[in-house]
Each structure stands twice: as C-alpha cells, then as structure tokens.
Structure 1
Amino acid sequence: MDQKERIADLITRYGQQQLNTAELRELSAYLTQLPDTELSAVLDDLMAGEASRSGGLDKEHVFQLIVNDRRMASNLPQRSRTRTATLWPKHILRWAAAIIICFGVGIGIQQWKEKKVDSSTSAAAILPAQPSASLVLADGTALSLAPGQQEIVLKDGGIYYANGETVGLPDLPAGETVVLATPLGATYSVRFADGTHVNLNAGSKMSFPLVFSPEQRRVELDGEAYFDVQKGTAASWPFEVHSGDHVARVLGTTFNIQAYSAKNKYTTTLYTGSLEVADTKRPEQKTRLLPRQRLVAEKEKAPMLTALADTRETDWTQGVFVFNDRPLSDIVEELERWYNVEFVFQDKLQQEVFTGVASRQQSLQEVLELLELTGTVEFRIHQRKISIFKGI
C-alpha cells in the first residue's frame, strides 16, 4: 500500500471511527506534511471510490477544510505516565466532524447520538446554563424572576431588572433579607446599590438585605459566586461573605467563592486586591490571600493556600471549563450543576485525571465528545442521567 492509498484508508476508517490513537496521529502527521497537490489527488481518488455511496461530494470544500487546519498534529492529545488524559482542542472536533459528514461514511455524530443517547433525550438538546433565578422573601414566598432577564439591581430600597423595570415585589422594610436562588443549569447576577456586582453560579443561593447597614455589607452564600466588590466610602465599611464556618472580609476586590454546603468544602480564589478568610469556629485561624492565590478548606483537614498559574480554572465567568489535573469525579460534579444532569459511575473512574479546556457554551454532547476522544471514558445517556464506563 503506497502513501496515497494509506491516507485514503485512514481517512475512510476515520469516518467509520475505527482508528486507534496511533493511527490518528499518523493521519494528522500525513495531513500536516502532505503538499496540497498530493492531498488534492488523494481526495480525488477517495471521492471516486465513495461516489456510488455518497451520491457525489464537494471535493473543493473538503480540500479547504483540511488545508485550512494544518495545526492538527501539534494539538493531538498525549497520555502521561500518571494517566492524565488531555482534552482535544475544539478545532480538531470541527475538523473531524467535517470529514465524517462530508465523506458520508461511518456512524458520524448523528449515529453517536443514536448509539449512546436514549431517543427521548438528545445530548445535543441539553444546553449549558442559562439565566434563571427566583427571589425568596423572609416569609418564604418565592417569586420567579422574569424570563429573558439575567440581572437584578438594588437601589433606593427596591429591586429592579437591569433594564429599569421593577421586579414587582410587595413593599418591604429596608432591612428585609431576601434570597436569590439559581436552580441547576442556571446562573444570575445582582448589582448592589454600592456598585458591587455578583455573578451567582448554578445551584446556588445568596441572601442579602435590601439595604446594607452603615456598619457592614454582609451576604450569605451557599454555592458559588464571583464577586466584584466596590470599596466602601470608609475603611470601616467592609464587605463580608459568610459561607458555613468561613467568613471572607474585603474592602474592594475581585474574588470567587465556592462553598456548596453539601460538599463540606470551601474554596476561594483572589484575583485582585486583598482578602482575609476567617474560620468562625477557630477565630485565631485567619488567612490573608494575595492575587492569584487559592485557599481550600475541608473539614478535618488543614487549609491549603496555593498559587494559580491559570486563574480561569476557578473563574467560571470567563466562559470556559478549565481542568488542570482534575479527577473525573470533580469534573462531572461541575457538569451536573451546569447542565442540570446526573452522572453515575458504572466503572471505577472517579480518580482518572484530565487536563484541558472546553467552552461552557457548548452543548453537553460536545463536552462529552471531547472527554470520549481521550479514549479513557465512554458515556451512555438515558434522559438526563449519564452512565460512565471505561473507554474501549
């Protein structure tokens, strides 16, 4: 088999999803080094052989798809000795999908869904988190916020949407405490009268007064939120975030806190300014963070303060999932909140470690495809429950 025949064979079997990792690298190396004239000839030969099945193919379109993405070889995943699996960059997925669709062979993405997804729910239909939330009053009354809105603004003792429309709450005293709650698969934001802005992540709750007291600005968080705190008019007006046994105190800074009560784990990351975190059960235990530092505190363990090379790992507002040596158990926990689904491990894969980046705007199907391309895992979907198996 000469080189042209070999490439044609690899492309055809790639469309049938029959290539192993070594063959994928071989194909990418060929496509990276092959002159355009030879690539064109290979496509001519392949299309001539596939014409009877495909009904005719747009050779020029396929040719340009391949020529325009010569970066493929340098971005293929590598497996380390510690079994770290690297996610594939998204442009490789686009290239692969284009080859599968244009050549009209193999199972392709549509048959991926038919094989692994229950017909009642498509993974492509499970979309990322969207703005949605409710306000819970002190008497327990819950008010769903209007569809299409994504932020509330506190001013003059009232609550409004970002476009100026009133939320429509009954008259409440200025000291009234309300709770902003996001369900799984939803996010929301709030801007306080002092200018502080908070993005609330999925499955989170934050309580706060309609008007901050002159002594302090205090909120309580169960879940995850990104804070951009405005400096007070005086140094004696700190902003406090209470989460379980921990209190974060600042004057003006940007930081993220993840403190879901069900996890018994507190994580805060500082981006700008300064931040002090105290343990209410151990008043003497205070930790001061510098920018690009992360504090992790778990019950029965000493707090850990580390420096971050990539703050996107904890800044979910940047629109990407960033996994740096993250165990699969942590990854699926994050996906559960973001997509409002449930993962069930059928094989012992919880401690498999992954490194990579994926857009938070992708459908669940696209994210699962990225994970599956590592060869480590396989997912099967029934409605909103995803079973996790070892990769084949």
Structure 2
Amino acid sequence: MSTSQDHIIYLWNRFVAKTATKQELDELFIYLQQTGNDNTSLELIQKYLGSNTIEEIDREYWLNKAGEITEENTGIVHRVHFLKTAWFRYAAAILIIAGIGAYLWNINSKVKTEDTKIANTNTIKEILPGGQRALLTLADGSTIELDSASNGQLATQGSSKIIKLEDGQLVYSAKPPIPSRGGVVSPDGETGVGSVQRATNTMSTPRGGQYQLTLSDGTKVFLNAASSITYPAVFNNKTREVKITGEVYFDVSKDPSKPFIVKSGSDQLTVLGTAFNINNYPDEISKTSLIEGAVKINDQTLKPGQAYSQGKLTTTNIQQDIAWMKGYFDFNGADLPSVMRQLSRWYNIEIKYSGKIPDVKFVGKLSRDLNLSQVLETLNDMGIKYSIERTTLTIK
C-alpha cells in the first residue's frame, strides 16, 4: 500500500473513531469526493479495513458535523448556493463512504439532463415565501387581520389590552384578577364570575403565514403556517389552558401555582415552565418535542431532547424540529412527500403527483426567505421533473 493510501487509511480510522480534526476531515472528504464516483474510495476502505467498518459510522453525527464545519468555514448559513457547494462536498463524501449511495442534491450541477431542464422550464409568476400573517378572532366574534392592522392597541377586553408591536407580534397586557367571595373582581372594579377570563380569543395563521403572540401571563407562542391557538384574554386563578392546531412553539412563563395546559387533538400536555414544540397537522404524525424543562403528556413525562409521538417517547433532533421558527427548513433525512408538505404550507401551493412518487431522501437546509423558484432549483439538481401552473406544483 502506498504512502498516500496509508495516509487515507489513517484519516479513515480517525473519521470512524470521531477523533478527526477539522483539517483531517477536510482532507479526507475532498479525497472521497474526488474518487467517489468510480468507487475507488470504497474499494480502498473495504480492501484494507473490511466492509464491516461501513456499519460503524454514525451517519447522523457526521452529517451534522459536516454542517458545523462548513458553517464555520464559510460563515454562510441556510442559503441555496451554500447548500450546493461546500456543505454538499462534505455531506456527499459521508454518504458515499457510509454506503448510502449517490447523494441527492448533486453539487456537480453540470450533469443535469437536458430532459429535466426542458421539463422544468416554465414561465411562471414568482411565488413569494410566507410572512407575518394572522387573523385574530375575539370573543364577540369580531375579527382583526393582523398583517394589515396598525401598530399599537387594537382592542380592550376588561383590563386586558391587546397590542400589536412593530415587529409583527401581538401582546396581551393585563393585570391579574383579584379573588373575591362572590367570584372575581377585575382590577378595574368589575365584579362577576370572571367575564374577562371567559373572553376566549383565537389567533389563526393561513397557509403562507406565521405569527408570534405573548399571552397575558408572559408565555411566548410562535405559530407556524396553517395553525391556531385558542386562549383566554386573562387566565384564571388555578390553571392556564389553551388549545392548538397545526404547529406551535411555546416558551411558557414559570408559575408553579398555575400549571400550563395545552390541548392538542387527543393529547393533553401539562407544564409549569418550559419550552417545547408541538406538530399536530392533520397530514402529519403528531409529535411533541421538548427543548427544556419538563412536560407531562397524557401519562408520560418528557425530558429535554425527547419527543412524544404515537404514544411513545423517543430521542429527537431538536434543532431540526424547531428549524421553522429559526427561519429555515431542515430537510435532512426527509423524503419527497414530507418536503412537499412543508413547502405547500409555507408557499400556499397545492402539490400533485402525476406518477410514481420518486423515492429520494434529502439532505441540507434552506432559508424560508427564498422565493419558490429558488427552492425548486434543488429539484432540478436532483433530476426530479415537475411542472407548475399558477399555484399548483405537479411532480412527474
């Protein structure tokens, strides 16, 4: 075995053991990328180390590591050209040596087939990404379109003021109710059984919308597209209860005396103060992911880094679960239907399949600020044929 091969085997051993430095990884990945197409790298590894080493690779660990290295080297995060260059050099090499097969978002864009180019060359009206859009429905049935409403105080419910901030957030500012023998006395002197507390409002986002909300107790809520939350203008003295649909992120204000309860479909979550994400779209498998604190869902308790789905607790990739609220899509490991569902909700488009659904897996991240045409460039790079007419995207 030549000296150069000795060195590659050395780098490989460091790679499998997770002890390789950034410089060593860079050297190994470049070599593998250059030789991966003719299987030279696999033959070398299998000849001198045995094929069993392929199974020893922690694929998810190294895919994440590749992203970290590239982010540090380029300083560019979640951009299309970023995904097509440096990150894919690393990720593609990992996919090659991990035996996964050809990586799907090919950085060698020159190999696009002419058929795919022709099939996907459409003159279409540009479809913009989603934005800060939501509808507020008050207890009396009146509605306020938040994206077109002026900043400042929008309404008053008892002692609760509803205020729209400049950065597209809605805040409830309320003084806590005062208990009395006859029921509840609000800070403004109104006596009753909690008229303000019975004032239940609903914030809902359309497809192509998202919005942030601060409840009267200080809890911060972030709604993804096609989602909703129903909540009281002021919480009562015992519990804080809300109901949600779609996907919602919570950062709950701590108050041990008042458990925070979230009803999501058939699930009920109870927390005291914590951060978590709930994905409960009708076309997705319901999933609750815990970022910090503790959550009791039905009869099970989640720990940070865990998710609850279909009655089971599992370890989850938190950063991927909350990527949407940080402004990007994390498609690592996702299949085509999963990616299309996310794009459908954010760009408010309809997805159709005219034939067999391509069996592909995605890697990488995309900014949610991109126009749809920029996102669809990735399908071109993968050789996936599609057509788009108005707001309908058809995968062929």
Q: Match of 2:203? A: 180
Cα RMSD for the two superposed structures: 3.9
User: Aligned pair 1:306/2:327, yes or no?
Assistant: no
How far the C-alpha of 1:372 sits from its partner, in A, is 3.0
Q: Which amino acid aligns with 1:214?
A: N
User: Aligned pair 1:294/2:307, yes or no?
Assistant: yes
Cα distance in 2 for partners of 1:294, 1:387 equals 33
Cα distance in 1 for partners of 2:285, 2:104 equals 26
User: 1:312-343 CA deviation, whole Å, 9 max, x = no partner?
Assistant: 33442122211232221111111100110111
Q: Match of 1:266? A: 286
Which structure 2 residue ranges, 5 or more long, are not aligned? 1-32, 38-80, 173-194
User: Aligned pair 1:240/2:240, yes or no?
Assistant: no
User: 1:131-184 CA deviation, whole Å, 9 max, x = no partner?
Assistant: 0111113443332114387999999412111249999x9xx8442111101100
Map 1:1-392 → 2, pairs under 5 A: 73-74=89-90, 76=92, 78=95, 85-87=103-105, 116=120, 118-119=122-123, 121-122=124-125, 125-147=126-148, 156-163=159-166, 173-232=196-255, 235-260=256-281, 262-263=282-283, 265-278=285-298, 286-297=299-310, 303-309=311-317, 311-349=319-357, 351-375=359-383, 377-389=384-396
Q: Match of 1:52? A: none
Q: Which amino acid aligns with 1:199?
A: F
User: 1:29-70 CA deviation, whole Å, 9 max, x = no partner?
Assistant: 9xxxxxxxxxxxxxxxxxxxxxxxxxxxxxxxxxxx9xxx88
Secondary structure at the aligned position of 1:325 is classed as coil
For the Cα contact (< 8 Å) 2:137–2:144, is it kept in 1?
yes
For the Cα contact (< 8 Å) 1:154–1:192, is it kept in 2?
no
For the Cα contact (< 8 Å) 2:129–2:208, is it kept in 1?
yes
For the Cα contact (< 8 Å) 2:323–2:329, is it kept in 1?
no
Larger deviation, residues 172-181 vs 139-148: 139-148
Q: Name the CA shift for 1:166/1:28 in 2 (closer, same or farther; >3 Å).
A: closer
Q: Name the CA shift for 1:295/1:316 in 2 (closer, same or farther; >3 Å).
A: same
Q: Which amino acid aligns with 1:223?
A: G
User: 1:85-142 CA deviation, whole Å, 9 max, x = no partner?
Assistant: 5446xxx69xx7xx9xxxxxx99xxx96x863653x33xx212210011111344333
For the Cα contact (< 8 Å) 1:312–1:320, is it kept in 2?
no
Larger deviation, residues 208-217 vs 343-352: 343-352
Cα distance in 2 for partners of 1:245, 1:346 equals 34
Larger deviation, residues 157-166 vs 357-366: 157-166
How many correspondences in the alignment? 289
Cα distance in 1 for partners of 2:169, 2:307 equals 38
Q: Name the CA shift for 1:363/1:210 in 2 (closer, same or farther; >3 Å).
A: same
Q: Match of 1:282? A: none
Secondary structure at the aligned position of 2:376 is classed as helix
Which structure 1 residue ranges, 5 or more long, are not aligned? 1-24, 30-64, 100-105, 279-285, 298-302
Secondary structure at the aligned position of 1:230 is classed as coil
For the Cα contact (< 8 Å) 2:137–2:143, is it kept in 1?
yes
State the identity as a percent: 29
Q: Name the CA shift for 1:153/1:316 in 2 (closer, same or farther; >3 Å).
A: farther
Q: Which amino acid aligns with 1:142?
A: T
How far the C-alpha of 1:311 sits from its partner, in A, is 2.3
User: 1:296-323 CA deviation, whole Å, 9 max, x = no partner?
Assistant: 12xxxxx232212452334421222112
For the Cα contact (< 8 Å) 1:132–1:150, is it kept in 2?
no
